[in-house]
Homo-oligomer: A and B are copies of this chain.
Amino acid sequence: MPSFVQVLDFIGTFAFAISGIRLASAKRFDWFGAYVVGFVTAIGGGTIRDLLLDVTPGWMTDPIYLICTGMALLWVILFSKSLIHLHNTFFIFDSIGLALFTVVGLGKSLSLGYPIWVAIIMGSITGAAGGVFRDVFINEIPLIFRKEIYAMACVVGGAAYWICYALHAEPYLAQIICGVTVFVTRILAVKYKICLPILKGE
């Protein structure tokens, strides 16, 4: 039986892969290209984190991420017309993935002995860097730099973890609060169209 966290991890990976595959399809990538973009969107953030932390990337130890991306590709091929109606479902899934990936990245860094400020950055990289790869591959300016609160939600969740940590809360409680904060920040930001200020150009 997979654990609750494994189920969330699968949902998050699936949602991230779908987001990569859909954007690749809009650029008329072939099946292979779409698969690669979906896979890198899902595992890119964790891979950068693991390279920086000098540990073996998680996807190299378990083929589940490859299989999950394959299922996401099959889903897009079979149900491409109905995907537009599932927009809200995917948004929820994507936010679950963002929250979980942030918590996983943060926890992994702390368990390796890194200070909390490094862990917060690693959590944000885990959640948001995959989308940067995706946008570089489809030759667009990364969305997270311009629109909506996305990676910023990871940072807010990391700050919530830091507060719990400073108050000597149990790690599992701090992780739940962190994940819920990321999720709620992301949902509220989109619902109420909360944006960061744009930097004025010269």
* B-binding residues in A (CB < 8 A): 21-22, 24-34, 36-37, 47, 51-52, 54, 56-57, 60, 63, 66, 76-77, 80, 83-84, 114, 117-118, 132, 136-142, 144-147, 151-152, 155, 195-202
Contact = CB atoms under 8 A, between A and B. Distances in A.
A201 B28 contact: yes
A199 B152 CA distance: 32
Contact of A141 (B51, B138, B142, B199): B138
A80 B200 contact: yes
B199 A29 contact: yes
Contacts of A25: 199-202
Contact of A198 (B28, B117, B198): B28
A21 B200 CA distance: 10
A33 B37 CA distance: 22
Contacts of A202: 22, 25-26, 80, 83-84
B63 A57 contact: no
B52 A57 contact: yes
A197 B31 contact: yes
A141 B27 contact: yes
A139 B140 contact: yes
A139 B141 contact: yes
